[in-house]
Each structure stands twice: as C-alpha cells, then as structure tokens.
Amino acid sequence: MDTPGTISCDDELRHWPSDEARARAVQDRLRSSVRLDESGPQPGFAGTVVGVDVAYDDERDVVAAAAVALDARTLAVTDEATAVGQISFPYVPGLLAFREIPTVIDALARLTRTPDLVVCDGYGLAHPRRFGLASHLGVLTGLPTIGVAKNPFTFRYAPPGPERGATSPLLDGDEEVGRALRTQKGVKPVFVSVGHRVDLDRACAHTLRLAAAYRLPETTRAADALCRKALANA
C-alpha cells in the first residue's frame, strides 16, 4: 500500500518503539510528513472507503483490529478483514497509535482492495503533538485518512447548532485542530480531524455522508462490531 515518496511501512514496523521516549521521538520525526495540501476524494466518490477500529483484551495483552470496506456511494459492505496481535506498548494518552497501528496495518493488508479513504476511530491533527492515529496511519501507508472521535480529547469547543450538519471549531488555544460535527439532530456531536491527504471540509463532508442514520459513521460502526467479534473468537 506504499505510495511513492512515503515512508516504508515495513521499515517503521521493524523498528517499532516500546517506550514513551522513543515513541515521542517517532511522532516528532514523522509529523512533518503529514500532507495538508490535498483535498482528498469527493464525498460520494466512486471507490472504496474503509473503516478501521480495534478492541483490547488487556488481561491477555491481545488487540484485535478490523478493516471494513464500504462502497463510497451506496455504503454497502464490499470487503472486510481482521487481525489479532499482542499489545507491545503500554497505555499512554497521546500514544495510543503505538498500541494499535501494527495490527491495524495487518488487517488493512488483508483486504482484497486498496482503500481510497480510511476512516479511523480516533484523532488526526486533533492531538497534542498534531500526530494522532489517523495521521500516523496515513503517513505510514500513504493512504488518505481522517479521524472521527467520540469525544474532544483535551480540546475545547462550543456546542454546534442542533441541526444535522452543524459544526463548530475544535480548538487548542486559538488554533482549529478539528471540528465538532452534529451528524444527527439533537444528538451529541462527533469530533472530526484531518489525518493525511484530506482537508477538513471534506473530512466533515465524508463523515456526514457516512453517518446517514446514526451518530457514528457506518465505517466505524461496522469496524467496531467486527473487531469485537474477532477479539471474542481469538
């Protein structure tokens, strides 16, 4: 899944960090590779959008990842894959990508088609170091990625209007790092941020289209159910 000019995923995985200091150094080194100068595919494009998610069994140090491919126009599931691995990194807020990415990449590699867009259950630029899971995964694979999170992490926002599609900035000081997006009328917003090779307007538009009937995008809902099933069967 490498794209010309991107970092070799295999090389990064061979040297995967196991402690906080090395992990933060990796974030600092890779952060400059995030592409913010591309709009990304248009909502409803003819192609494949993939949701990824993970589930943990901390007692056994096991993580299960799922990748579910949907037709971007019809939202019908066209492919799915799972992977199960050992957790090799401690729980540290802001460094969760280091617990998840190796198994997520394994699941992505098992799909029969290359994603045109990946939707992560987490953050991209809406991250204290501006390099959350969606950005990290995008840089390593070269794929366009966005992050759609269930909570605002450490950032502040004013509640968006009550109507579907209403947004408000997700702020770190005066910097907009993402948006709170109301996907259903009167329902709590989700928190959208750029990952890699997609701008914020399109990230929100994709999220709204994918969340046609529920608060969360169909990509996230499908991947969440599948990774829980994979964990139960592990």
Mean pLDDT of 193-211: 98
Neighbour order of strands in the sheet with 175-181: 77-86, 62-71, 48-57, 117-120, 145-149, 190-196, 175-181, 167-172
Note the pLDDT tens digit of each residue in 83-97: 999 998 999 999 999
31 token code pair: 């952060």
What's the predicted TM-score (pTM) here? 0.94
User: At 71, phi and psi to the nearest 5?
Assistant: -65, 125
Nearest CA-CA partner of 10 in 135, 105, 84: 105
Report the chain's mean pLDDT, rounded to a whole number: 94
The answer on pLDDT for 75 being more than 60 is yes
Q: How far apart are the C-alpha atoms of 144 and 63, rounded to whole Å?
A: 24
Q: Mind spelling out the 3-state secondary structure of 32-96? A: HHCCCCCCCCCCCCCCEEEEEEEEEECCCCEEEEEEEEEECCCCCEEEEEEEEEECCCCCCCCCC
Percent of the chain residues topping a pLDDT of 90: 91
Place domain 9-233 in its CATH homologous superfamily: archaeoglobus fulgidus dsm 4304 superfamily (3.30.2170.10)
CA 12 to chain centre: 18
Give the pLDDT of residue 10: 78
Note the pLDDT tens digit of each residue in 19-28: 999 999 999 9
* Local confidence band at 8 (pLDDT 50, 70, 90 cut-offs): low
* Local confidence band at 58 (pLDDT 50, 70, 90 cut-offs): confident
* Local confidence band at 2 (pLDDT 50, 70, 90 cut-offs): very low
